[in-house]
């Protein structure tokens, strides 16, 4: 029997037939005629990790570049490492598109400068969003800022995450923070809808939605009891549009607007909010409630009526992660769930819808929202151009091919007679990156006449059609054939590679695949 022309994509399809899926795909490793792995990362090689976003890429990058690395044993090896964007300032890598710097005068920073205390309550699954991104990409807490991180539960696989997650514990901690009168601002995130929404399990999603509704009720009622104004909103949509137009399931994010509800006993039920807003209007609104002036550079507008009743306020900012506004049809899983609390406050308190995708959150037109952009814009109160936009501009004007970090890696590998490795997500559109970026890097390697290029691909089901990973891998294999450059050396589910909570057993699994060729051999 002849060997398949595109062996790695065929291997992914074979894995599907055994019940595997893209997100948790076990590692596949290309081997030669003698069964030896090809394309392992070796001492002296160069790697370009082309993912964007970054917070889930830190751990795998650290496994290659940190001199002091205590999490699992590694062979002595020096690798030249370049990343598309900065994943963390302490990583010893070349960065192709360095950060533009932390955003100044964010909501959290203004509150801190006013000498007010604030508390942030979140599960560990979303801790970076309520800290780093909400704070305008500032790593350290501001003065007077307390971060309360509740551990998220984790099963042996992503799909085993309990739908309730740790929402009740988040609510407990948020209620305690609200009862502390020293906290002028309490920010809480309930993340079930987003996290569970990426799993193809409508029953679990219903539980997640109803859990968030119930725990949001507890938190908001505690705010009212403490005399605290409550702002309830979301960062992006997820499960309110569950189907693609052809009827297949879409487990990704959406470009839907999100709710904004103001529960304020002093303002009353009859007040109205400005319409046509976006997530950039949340920070000015919260500052208005706190009685703090909107700082220079915060270009969003307050959604509040022009006059507020006098008096000092404390504020709750409650973010229902992934809760978009759907059309109420069969694909609207939020509408299909029982959500008496959200139904009640939307109908009885001042309410509006906010844009949470595309240019409204610094993304290209027609693109969906995500937690990074959502929290960044909620906190910044202005539009922050996404890294993807900067990369797209570089592709349009051709400067991508002249990028110093990419040239450093390619020319270094060619000069030293070592290999170049292209590592990252393979997806038509993920908040972590795009297959298009990989294809451009392959074209660049072709122009640079790279003799030995290996491609290491991560697959994910989020926002993709079922079994789409095999299609993308075949696309990459076809492009490698056309260019005469590169081959797909490894494929693995992103569950094992993109972690942010210290699950080093997963990262080690990916590392052993990349370096030692541990995985299912593909001839």
Nearest partner of 495 among 507, 484, 485, 480, judged by Cα: 507
As a three-state string, the secondary structure of 252-314 is CCECCCEEEEEECCCCCCCCCCCCCEEHHHHHHHHHHHHCCCCCCCCCCCCCCCCCCCCCCCC
Per-residue pLDDT tens listing for the chain (523 residues): 556 889 999 999 999 999 999 989 999 999 999 999 999 999 999 999 999 877 899 999 999 999 999 999 999 999 999 999 999 999 999 999 998 877 999 999 999 999 999 999 999 999 999 999 999 998 899 999 999 999 999 754 556 789 999 999 999 999 999 999 999 999 999 999 999 998 889 999 999 999 999 999 999 999 999 999 999 999 999 999 998 777 888 888 999 999 999 999 888 777 889 999 999 999 999 999 999 999 999 999 999 976 666 567 899 999 999 999 999 999 999 999 999 999 999 999 999 999 999 999 998 888 899 999 999 999 999 999 888 888 989 999 999 999 999 999 999 999 999 999 999 999 876 677 788 899 999 999 999 999 999 999 999 866 567 778 899 999 999 999 999 999 999 999 999 999 988 999 999 999 999 999 999 999 9
User: What is the number of H-type helices and E-type strands within the chain?
Assistant: 16, 16
Residue pair 152/123 in contact (Cβ under 8 Å)? The answer is yes
DSSP 348-370: HS-EEEEE-SGGGGT--TTPPP-
Q: How far is CA 395 from CA 50, 95, 438, 440, 444, in A?
A: 14, 16, 12, 9, 11
The two tokens of residue 404 are 């110093």
Q: How far apart are CA 92 and CA 439, in angstroms?
A: 25
Print burial letters for 220-249: b (CB count within 10 Å at least 16), e (below 16): bebbeebebbbbbbbbbbbbbbbeeeeeee
- Supply angle C-alpha 236, 241, 243, rounded to 5: 140
Compute CA 21 distance to the chain's CA centroid, rounded to the nearest angstrom.
20
Q: How far apart are CA 299 and CA 279, in angstroms?
A: 12
The two tokens of residue 9 are 């994509």
Cβ of 100: how many Cβ atoms within 10 Å? 11
Q: How far apart are CA 286 and CA 359, in angstroms?
A: 22
Long-range contacts of 96-101 (CB under 8 A, 24+ apart): 96/403, 96/404, 96/405, 96/406, 97/387, 97/390, 97/391, 97/394, 97/403, 99/137
* Domain architecture of the chain: domains with CATH: 7-98+389-522 (3.40.1450.10), 107-384 (3.40.720.10)
Q: How far apart are CA 419 and CA 40, in angstroms?
A: 9
């Amino acid at each position: 029997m002849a060997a398949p022309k595109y062996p790695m994509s065929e291997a992914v399809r074979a894995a599907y037939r055994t019940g595997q899926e893209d997100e948790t795909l076990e590692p596949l490793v290309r081997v030669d005629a003698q069964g030896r792995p090809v394309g392992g990362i070796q001492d002296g090689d160069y790697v370009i990790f082309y993912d964007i976003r970054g917070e889930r890429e830190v751990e795998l990058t650290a496994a290659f570049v940190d001199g002091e690395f205590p999490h699992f044993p590694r062979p002595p090896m020096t690798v030249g490492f370049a990343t598309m964007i900065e994943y963390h300032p302490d990583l010893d890598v070349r960065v192709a598109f360095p950060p533009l710097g932390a955003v100044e005068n964010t909501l959290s920073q203004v509150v801190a400068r006013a000498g007010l205390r604030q508390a942030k309550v979140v599960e560990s699954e979303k801790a970076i969003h309520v800290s780093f991104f909400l704070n305008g990409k500032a790593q350290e807490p501001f003065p007077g800022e307390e971060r309360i991180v509740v551990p998220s539960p984790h099963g042996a696989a992503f799909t085993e995450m309990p739908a309730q997650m740790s929402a009740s514990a988040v609510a407990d901690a948020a209620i305690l923070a609200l009862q502390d009168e020293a906290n002028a601002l309490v920010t809480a995130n309930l993340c079930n809808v987003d996290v569970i929404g990426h799993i193809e399990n409508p029953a679990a999603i219903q539980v997640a939605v109803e859990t968030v509704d119930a725990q949001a009720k507890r938190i908001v009622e505690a705010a009212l009891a403490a005399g605290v104004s409550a702002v309830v909103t979301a960062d992006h949509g997820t499960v309110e549009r569950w189907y693609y137009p052809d009827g297949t399931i879409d487990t990704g994010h959406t470009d839907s607007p999100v709710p904004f509800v103001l529960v304020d006993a002093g303002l009353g039920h009859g007040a109205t909010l400005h319409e046509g807003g976006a997530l950039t209007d949340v920070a000015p609104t919260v500052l208005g409630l706190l009685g703090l002036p909107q700082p220079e550079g915060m270009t969003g507008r307050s959604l509040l009526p022009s006059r507020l009743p006098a008096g000092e306020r404390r504020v709750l900012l409650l973010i229902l992660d992934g809760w978009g506004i759907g059309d109420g049809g069969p694909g609207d899983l939020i509408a299909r769930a029982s959500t008496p609390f959200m139904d009640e406050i939307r109908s009885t308190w001042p309410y509006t819808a906010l844009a949470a995708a595309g240019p409204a959150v610094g993304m290209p037109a027609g693109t969906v929202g995500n937690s990074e952009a959502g929290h960044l814009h909620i906190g910044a109160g202005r539009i922050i151009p996404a890294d993807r936009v900067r990369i797209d501009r570089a592709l349009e004007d051709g400067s991508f091919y002249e990028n110093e970090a990419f040239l450093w890696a390619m020319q270094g590998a060619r000069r030293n007679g070592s290999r170049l490795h292209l590592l990252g997500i393979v997806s038509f559109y993920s908040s972590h990156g795009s297959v298009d970026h990989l294809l451009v890097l392959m074209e660049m390697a072709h122009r640079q006449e790279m003799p030995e290029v290996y491609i290491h691909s991560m697959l994910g089901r989020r926002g993709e059609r079922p079994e789409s990973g095999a299609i993308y891998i075949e696309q990459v294999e076809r492009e490698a054939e056309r260019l005469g450059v590169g081959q797909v050396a490894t494929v693995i589910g992103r569950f094992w590679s993109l972690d942010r909570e210290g699950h080093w057993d997963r990262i080690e699994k990916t590392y052993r695949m990349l370096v030692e060729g541990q995985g299912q051999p593909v001839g």
